[in-house]
Every structure is written in C-alpha cells, then in structure tokens.
A and B are shown apart, each in its own frame.
Chain A
Amino acid sequence: MQESAVLPGAGGPIFVVGSPAAGSALVREALDRHERLAIVADTGFLRAAVNHQWVPFRRSGGWYKRLGWSREEFSTELRALYSGLFERVLQQQGKQRWGDATPLHVWYLDTVNRIFPDAVVVGVVRHPAAVVTALVRGGLEPLPAVRQWRGATLEMLLSGSSMGGRFLLVRYEDLVEAPEETLRELVALLGEPWSDRMIELDGLRGVAVQGGSLDPSTRTTLRKRAGRLANLFGYDLGKPGKHAPLPAAGRRRRVLTGDDLAVRRTEFPAVGRKRPTPPRVDRPLRSKQVRPNFVRGASGRP
C-alpha cells in the first residue's frame, strides 16, 4: 500500500466531522490545543452556506446564476466570506490555521470540497454500541440512534474514500488508548509539527473505552443495520469494547486516509455504495418538500 504523499490540502482549513457522540469534540479539543490550530466548536455554518445556494423555502435554487455568477465563482465568494470570518479567531488567538468541528457537517462534505478545495476533513468514528448507548441516554429512541450512527458513518466512508489524503479517519478508541501515537500521526498528516500541548488534554487521560450497554433488541437492530459497516471499521458487535487494528499505509497504525479507506472498502464489498439520505434539515429546504412550523407555545407566533 502506498503512503499518501504530502497532503494536497496542507494549510487549508480543517473540518472535524462524525456521528453525534462519536468523539469529535475530543478531537477538536486536542487539535485546538495545538499552537498553530484554532478549531471552533459546533458552528454548523456549512448548513447556512448551503442556504446561500438554495434560499430556504423557495421553489428553485441558484438565484446567483441569474445574476451572472457561475457555481464556481459563487463558491469562491463564499470561501472569501467564511474564511474572513474564521480568520478573526486566528488573529485573536495568534494562530495560523482555522478549523471547525461540527458533527452535522458530515452531510456537507461535497460543500466542503466545493467551497474549500484545500480543506482537510478529519472524520471521527466510534464503536456503534457506545454511540447508540450515549444517544439513547440523551433521549433518542434506539432505532433513530442506530440510524444516526449508520448514516453519518456511511456518509463519511463513501465521501471520505474519494478524498484521498484530504480525508483522515480517527477512531475514538485509538485516540483514548494511544493518544500520543494517534495524534502524532494525525498532525503529521495535517502537515503540522508535533505539539506536546495536545496530549495535556484531561479528556485524553484514563478514559475507558465504553462498549455500551444495550438491550438485546437494540443489539439485534444494530447488528442488522450496521453490522457490516461496523466490521469495516474493525468493530465487533458481539464484543463491545473490542476493536481490531485497521490497516493503514506506511508505518501508520492509527489514522487512515481516504486512500486507505478506499482500499478497505474493496475488502468489504457488502457495505454498498448507496449514499445514505441526509436528515431533512440537511437537505436543500425546497418549498415543495418542507416547510417550517411553529413549536407549540413559541413566542411571537402570528
């Protein structure tokens, strides 16, 4: 397996994405401690960026095209707008490279590629049993929780495996079991020097890998709907908390690139190629399909 060359995106913004409860916040905190990196938590701004292209609750998109702008030109303008906004964080913190960690941006990897072609995406994956347990504890029903893990993780796999060295996959379990090794590989692939500050993060110390405590019916659902995908990432649903090492190119043992994932996909043909459908809020807000409704008791309701 060939090691990816120096990243084409080195120096561009960094997007940390993943399924909810998969550990993207921990990756963000570790990266944000780096002297050169400022990673802002959970802005969701790419959802707003897409609204520039498809104005909410309109019948058709592409208003800027009627003003004579091509999609590429408009994307360049959007890049200038958002880069300018994030650069203020760099100025305030005296850092050089900005990033954003919003789990829902997993549904906007096409948008990332279009607006920020030099961006690097860091995808975070975690054992589905642990994620589903966390989401169910947070109030979600088991089936939607399984769907959230499967949808976000599959999207990450399918989009990330075509991004080459601009997509980097980190498993939460690797991060907490071997933080220094994992983060060293990650920053090297990001084209950044090592920083000791990254492993001084409290959240990285003494965290036990949780396997999750699911009831039998949820475990069956998980196995049926997400079993093969979990296997691709080295997880064994029969043994929560256990995970096999993932084969990466070169000397790496922890972080996979999009190229590594592409190879991995060939070994798991049953996982399929069909892109999952994004949640309703992460699709263009076409007036024919969706409309906003007032939450009961909302203030200012007409």
Chain B
Amino acid sequence: MPEEPERPTTGPIFVIGSQGSGTTLMRLILDSHEDFALAQETGFMRAALAQLTVPFHEAGRDWYLRLGWSETEMHDQLRGFYERIFARFAASQGARRWGDKTPYHIWHVPELAQIFPDALFLCMVRHPGGTTASVQSRFDWQVPHAVNAWVRQNTEIALRAVQLPGRFALLRYEDLVLDPETSLRELLEWMGEPWTPRLLEHHVVHGEREPRRVEGMTSATDPIDVERIAKWTSKLDAEARELLRTEAAPLARFYGYDVDDAMHLSSLLPADSARRKLVTSADIARRQPEHTDVDWSPRGRPAANRRLDPAELWLGRNDGKKGARSGAGRRAAAGTPRRPKPDKRTPGPPVQRQR
C-alpha cells in the first residue's frame, strides 16, 4: 500500500459528503472536542468563488488580476479573510482549530485545497438507499434526483480523494454508527489530535448548548442510533430500489455496499491494515483500478457550484423543477407549473450583456 505523506495538524478541517450521509452527525461529534469548533453549515466557498469571478459580470472575470494580484496571491487574501472569520469563532468556543461542514463543498475540494494548503478533508459516505431515503423525507427530493446526486457526488469524492494524498480521509456512516469509538479514535489519530471521550457524548455536550435543532432539521441532542442504518429499507418503494440497482450498484460496491442489503458492509481496507474503519486517499487509490465497472469519468459540477461566468451560465427564475417538491416544485410535479413570467429587466438566455 502506498505510504501516506505527513499530515498537516494545525489547519482547518472540512467535513464533506452527500446530503443525508451523516455529515451533520460528524460535525456535531467533532464540535464536541475541546479543541475543535465546527459551526453550522456555511457554504462559504460559493462566496469565495464569487470573489474570483464576479457573478454574471463579463468584466469581472479577471478583476483582481487588473489590480495587480496573481491568483495565488488572491487565494492568500481569501485565506486570510476566512481565517479571521472562523478563527475568532473557534476562539470564542475555547477551541484552537476550526472547521466547516458543508455537503456541497464536495464540488469545491480543489479550491479549498489551494486556498487552505494545510486543510484536512473528511468525507462521509453512506449507503445510497440510506442517503436517498434521508433526503427524500427531509428535503422532499425526488428519488431519481437523489440517486443521481449520490452517484455523481460519490464519484467526485473518490476522484478528488486520490489527488490529495495525506489530506483526505473517508468514513462510512455505517462504520461510525456501528463502532463509533474505533472509527473516531482512528480519525483523531489520523488528524494528529488527542482522543477525548466527549466525542462519544456529543448529544450530551450539545444538550448544554443552543440551538438544539440544527441544519438539515437534525436534533443536536440525539445520540447515535444504530437503527437508522436499515431504516431506508422500509421507506423506499420497489421502483426506487430498482433505480438503486440500475444506477448506483457498481459505485455502491466500490464503497463496500450491496444495494439490496442494508446490513452488508465489506471492508474497504486491506487485511494487513492497522486501521479498521478509517479509509485514506491511498486506500481509495488502491481500490479504484479494481472496480472497472464504475464509470470513473469526471462529473461536471452543478451550475450553482461553478464560477458564475456569463459565458457559461445565465440566471433564471427558480421554477422548482430540479428535484425538490416544495412550493413551485409541487405544482410542477402535479403538472400545473406556473407560467414563468418574462423578466422585464434582464431578458433570458443568454444573459443580456451590459457595458
């Protein structure tokens, strides 16, 4: 197995993963550690990208270059800015190391790694059935959208992981829930941080804090619940399970899952590994060539996570058709979409070019 390079032990920690894969649970657990502070989901990288390319402004593509800053220098400026914002938060919590948990930062790993060269990435992966049922019930996502998102996001995770040797680790939600102590001890050791039993008592630690209801409608005071691993089997109908088989099975196998069996969990680590739960970028790199049935071609980023360059994107009204079934989306699902009104100020595609 390839050796892992030395890891940074002072930089920020970014928790990423598909929505519904346990990223909030991991944030709450790490935030219970005396030395870490991970705030509720910020999504700040979309704002950071907006600094590099002013959204929908043709002349804003290279604005900082025109001020005499190189891209690397601009990254340093952004790092300084975000460091101040997050470090003060960490200090206010009595912590010395800050982190952020935003699921869609999956799509921003290259920029995060550039702006924060000492950052570590911790990725949560969960059975596609569990993730699909979770986003379906919590965010009203349609099943095809949820399955497609799981495949795209978890392909991206594997591709990015191998590009960041020594800085990227992965934990499966099921491993964390079934054996939290082993999983978290391995994680802390990988991070170069001391173990604390508070990690196993995150629900007690957060019970003393406000608010109790945090992002994704998660209760911060709920202990780890093993039953959640197989809960999805009673939530997804036959059609949804067939979709899992046709769309997600090869990648699920790569991550050690069986799309038909919630309790099947094969190890991602070689037999001689000292670790039992925590998967590193070297482990992922080793597994990739063994899974030739997975489509490893890079997946394009969703539009919202790209630089909002008017040559590539235009801004439209949200008609709710993307996957969520709330508001306008319900009308769309019912076949009675509201007719979009033409925008009188900025006519539709392509974006009206202004001087």
- A interface residues, Cβ below 8 angstroms from B: 20-21, 25, 40-45, 47-48, 51-52, 55-58, 63-64, 66-69, 74, 77, 80-81, 84-86, 88-89, 92, 102-104, 138-141, 143-144, 147-148, 151, 277-281, 285, 287-296, 298-302
A-B contact pairs, 25 of them (CB 8 A): A20-B354, A41-B59, A43-B63, A43-B67, A44-B54, A47-B56, A48-B54, A48-B55, A51-B55, A55-B42, A56-B50, A56-B304, A63-B41, A63-B44, A64-B42, A64-B85, A74-B85, A102-B59, A138-B353, A144-B352, A148-B354, A292-B306, A295-B350, A300-B300, A302-B302
Q: Using Cβ atoms and an 8 Å threshold, which residues of chain A touch B313? A: 292-295, 298
Indicate which residue in A45, A51, A279, A291 contacts B316 across the interface (CB closer than 8 Å). A291
Asked if B346 and A279 make an inter-chain contact with CB atoms under 8 angstroms apart, the answer reads yes
B residues less than 8 Å from A41 (CB atoms)? 59, 66
Please name the residue on chain B nearest to A59 by beta carbon: B43
CA A84 to CA B306, docked complex, whole Å: 26
- Cβ contact within 8 Å between B355 and A67: no
Contacting pair A47 B39 (CB below 8 A): no
Interface centre among A41, A42, A296 (most CB of B within 10 A): A42
Stretch at the interface among B86-94, B130-138, B161-169, B265-273: B86-94
Q: Which 6 A-B pairs have the closest CB atoms?
A: A302-B300, A51-B50, A44-B57, A67-B89, A43-B63, A292-B303
Contact B51 A48 (CB under 8 A): yes
- Given A86-B67, A144-B352, A147-B345: A295 and B85 within 8 A (CB)? no
Determine which residue in A20, A43, A80 has the highest number of CB atoms from chain B within 10 A of its CB, and name it: A43
Contact across chains for A293 and B303 when beta carbons are under 8 A apart? yes
Q: Is there contact, CB below 8 Å, between A51 and B47?
A: yes
Closest residue of chain A to B41, judged by CB? A63
Are the C-beta atoms of A294 and B84 separated by less than 8 Å? no
Q: Is B40 part of the binding interface, using a Cβ–Cβ cutoff of 8 Å?
A: yes
User: Is B110 positioned at the interface, with any CB of A under 8 Å from its CB?
Assistant: no
Contact residue among B69, B308, B311 (Cβ-Cβ distance under 8 Å from A292): B308
Residues on B with C-beta less than 8 A from A280 are: 315, 317, 343, 345-346
**Which residues of A lie under 8 Å from residue B92 when comparing CB positions?**
68
Give the residue name and chain of the B residue nearest to A87 (CB). B67
Closest residue of chain B to A280 (Cβ to Cβ) is: B346
Q: Which of B42, B353, B354 gathers most chain A CB within 10 Å?
A: B354
Closest beta carbon of chain A to B336's beta carbon, Å: 19
Question: CA–CA, A103 to B66, complex, Å?
Answer: 17
Contact A285–B311 (Cβ < 8 Å): no
Contact of A290 among B63, B66, B317 (CB under 8 A): B317
- A293 engages B316 (CB within 8 Å): yes
Chain B nearest CB: distance from A95 CB in Å? Answer: 13
**Docked-complex contact A92 and B68, CB < 8 angstroms:** yes
B264 interface hit (Cβ, 8 Å): no
- Which of A45, A66, A151 is the one whose CB lies under 8 Å from B345? A151
Q: A56-B47, A103-B354, A280-B346 are in contact. List 15 more A-B contacts (CB 8 A).
A: A21-B355, A40-B66, A43-B63, A44-B57, A44-B59, A56-B55, A58-B46, A66-B39, A69-B88, A85-B64, A85-B77, A147-B345, A292-B313, A292-B315, A300-B300
Is the CB–CB distance between B308 and A67 below 8 Å? no
Residues in A neighbouring B300, C-beta threshold 8 A: 300-302
> Is there an interface contact between A292 and B304, defined as CB atoms closer than 8 Å?
yes
Cα separation A219 to B86 with both chains bound (whole Å):
55
> Which residues on B sit within 8 Å (CB–CB) of A88?
67-69
Interface centre among B67, B306, B343 (most CB of A within 10 A): B67
Q: Does B60 contact A (CB under 8 A)?
A: yes
**A187 CB to nearest chain B CB (Å):** 23
Please pick, from A45, A103, A139, A301, the residue contacting B60 in the complex, using a CB distance under 8 A.
A45
Q: Does B289 interact with chain A (Cβ within 8 Å)?
A: no
Distance between B216 CB and nearest chain A CB, rounded to angstroms: 12
B269 to chain A, nearest CB (A): 31
What residues of chain A lie closer than 8 Å to B245, measured between beta carbons?
none
Residue among A20, A102, A103, A280 with most chain B CB within 10 A:
A280
Q: Closest chain A residue to B348 by CB distance?
A: A293
What is the minimal beta-carbon distance from A210 to any residue of chain B, in angstroms?
A: 16
Q: Does the CB pair B315–A281 fall under 8 Å? A: yes
Q: Given contacts A68-B88, A69-B85, A151-B345, is CB(A295)–CB(B39) below 8 Å? A: no
Q: In the assembly, what is the distance between CA of A44 and CA of B42, in Å?
A: 24
